[in-house]
Amino acid sequence: MKQMELQLVFCLWRKSVIKIATDLDGTIYKGTKLIEGVKETYEHLVNNNNEIFFITNNSSQTPYQIKEKLEQLLECEIDIKKIITPLNILKKMYLNQEINIYVYGSPNLQQFVKSINLSITNIDQAEIILIGRKPKLDISEINLIKNSIKSGKKVLCLNKDITFPTEKKDLPGNGAVVKMIEDDLKINITSLGKPDIHFINYCSDFNYNFDYVIGDRVDTDIFFGNKINATSILVESGVKNYESSNFADIKVKSFSDIVTVISR
């Protein structure tokens, strides 16, 4: 076969691969439990020439920890390059830069920040304040952050998810803290998560070109899908939504229902 013919075949094959970006918490699993039907659906999609990416705003775990969790639940190997979180964006922005940063968040988040050679300091010495999520709201620390922002400190947040789904109930998310600060100070804090511009640009820089975006949140997953001109699919297995479900192109009960709506 001639070289031009081979290139044409390769291009046609690439176009035939459907790229699916799926959320995790509330879509693939809740807490430590896989949602019913997900494993079989994932296997079917992968075996039928679909490329699956895992996109999550949850930054309490590192991408490597998410990889380990998915491999345990799905019982297969997961390419860490297919896992995209706000921590990927943080790393791309600040890797090996000499910046002092104050971190509000989990020990996993703090360890990740150290792993990209940023210096975690007290809030007085920090050049940037990074807002993540803690299991419980720390009001005294939040007030300290507010005062530092008033004095001119730069602030970023990993996402603006108001709630965080678990097996038993929804807990306050990263966005609960962010909203308290934004409402009190009348400011808009830059977010590194879905559906905001840094997350969109990251996906664009790597030419992911998702065909479908699947998730349980209208304000993050569906808005992200709509902004990048992907087909957005809302699953009803996760959090309660406060935005209209009509923003989604397609609505299904759970991840296992998407096989019937993703046409080849």
Tokens of 75: 């019982």
What is the reported pLDDT for 170?
75
Domain spans in the chain, listed from the N-terminal domain onward: 17-83+207-260, 87-191
Which of 18, 61, 14 minimizes the C-alpha distance to 214?
Answer: 18
Mean pLDDT, 10 residues at a time, over the chain (264 residues)? Answer: 48 69 94 93 94 95 96 97 98 92 95 94 96 89 97 96 76 89 97 98 96 95 98 85 83 91 68
> Which pLDDT tens digit goes with each residue over 187-203?
999 999 999 999 999 99
Q: What is the pLDDT of residue 246?
A: 86
173-210 residues labelled b (16+ CB within 10 A) or e (exposed)? bbbbbbbbbbeeeeeebebbbbbbebbeebbeeeebeb
Quick check: do 17-83+207-260 and 87-191 share a fold?
Answer: yes
For domain 17-83+207-260, give its CATH number from 3.40.50.300, 3.40.190.10, 3.90.700.10, 3.40.50.1000.
3.40.50.1000
Q: 87-191: which CATH architecture?
A: 3-Layer(aba) Sandwich (3.40)
Q: What is the pTM of this model?
A: 0.88
pLDDT in tens, 80-117: 999 999 999 999 999 888 899 999 999 999 999 999 98
- How far out from the chain centre does Cα 58 lie? 6
| Contact (Cβ atoms closer than 8 angstroms) between residue 213 and residue 261 | no
